[in-house]
Amino acid sequence: MHVFDEAIRLVAQPGGGWLGHTHPAYGNMVGPFGGITAAQALQAVMLDPARLGEPTALTVNFCAAMQDGPFTAAARAVRTGRSTQHWFVELQQDGQTVTSATVVTAVRREVWSAVEHRMPAVAPPQELPQVPPPRGVAWLSRYEMRFLEGGFPESWNGAEHPDSTSRLWVRDAEPRELDAAALAALCDVFFPRIWRRRERHTPAGTVSMTVYFHADAALLQRTGHAWLLAQARAQAFRNGFFDQTAQLWSPEGDLLASSHQVVYYKD
Size of the site for a copy of itself (CB under 8 A): 62
Please, are residues 75 and 104 in contact by the beta-carbon 8 Å criterion?
no
Q: Smallest gap, in angstroms, from Cβ of residue 147 to a copy of itself?
A: 19
For residue 166, the surrounding DSSP H or E stretch is: strand 166-172
Biggest CA pair distance of the chain:
55
* Exposure letters 115-137 (e unless 16+ CB within 10 A, then b): eeeebeeeeebeeeeeeebeeee
Output 96 or 155, the one with its CB closest to a copy of itself. Answer: 96
Output 146 or 244, the one with its CB closest to a copy of itself. Answer: 244
Among the candidate windows 31-39, 114-122, 135-143, 184-192, which touches a copy of itself by CB under 8 A? 114-122
Q: Does 152 bind a copy of itself (CB under 8 A)?
A: no
Q: Distance between CA atoms of 136 and 29, rounded to whole angstroms?
A: 7
Q: Distance between CA atoms of 231 and 195, rounded to whole angstroms?
A: 15
* Binding residue (CB under 8 A) for a copy of itself from 7, 104, 184, 232: 104
Query: Whole-angstrom distance between the N-terminal and C-terminal Cα of the chain?
Result: 41
Q: Report the DSSP pairing between strands 204-213 and 228-233.
A: unpaired
Rule CB under 8 A: which of 159-178 touch a copy of itself? 162-164
Rule CB under 8 A: which of 128-147 touch a copy of itself? none
Q: Distance between CA atoms of 26 and 208, rounded to whole angstroms?
A: 19
Q: Does 231 bind a copy of itself (CB under 8 A)?
A: no
Q: Smallest gap, in angstroms, from Cβ of residue 34 to a copy of itself?
A: 14
Output 46 or 194, the one with its CB closest to a copy of itself. Answer: 194
Output 3 or 262, the one with its CB closest to a copy of itself. Answer: 262
Output 97 or 141, the one with its CB closest to a copy of itself. Answer: 97
* Nearest residue to 248 via CA among 173, 189, 191, 197: 189
Q: Radius of gyration (Cα) for the chain, nearest Å?
A: 18
CA torsion sign, 45 to 218 to 251 to 225?
A: positive
Rule CB under 8 A: which of 49-88 touch a copy of itself? 56-57, 59, 61, 63-64, 78-79, 81, 84, 86, 88
Return residues touching a copy of itself (CB under 8 A).
Answer: 56-57, 59, 61, 63-64, 78-79, 81, 84, 86, 88, 90, 96-98, 100, 102, 104, 106, 108-117, 162-164, 197-198, 207-208, 210, 212, 214-216, 233-241, 243, 245, 247, 255, 258, 260, 262, 264-267
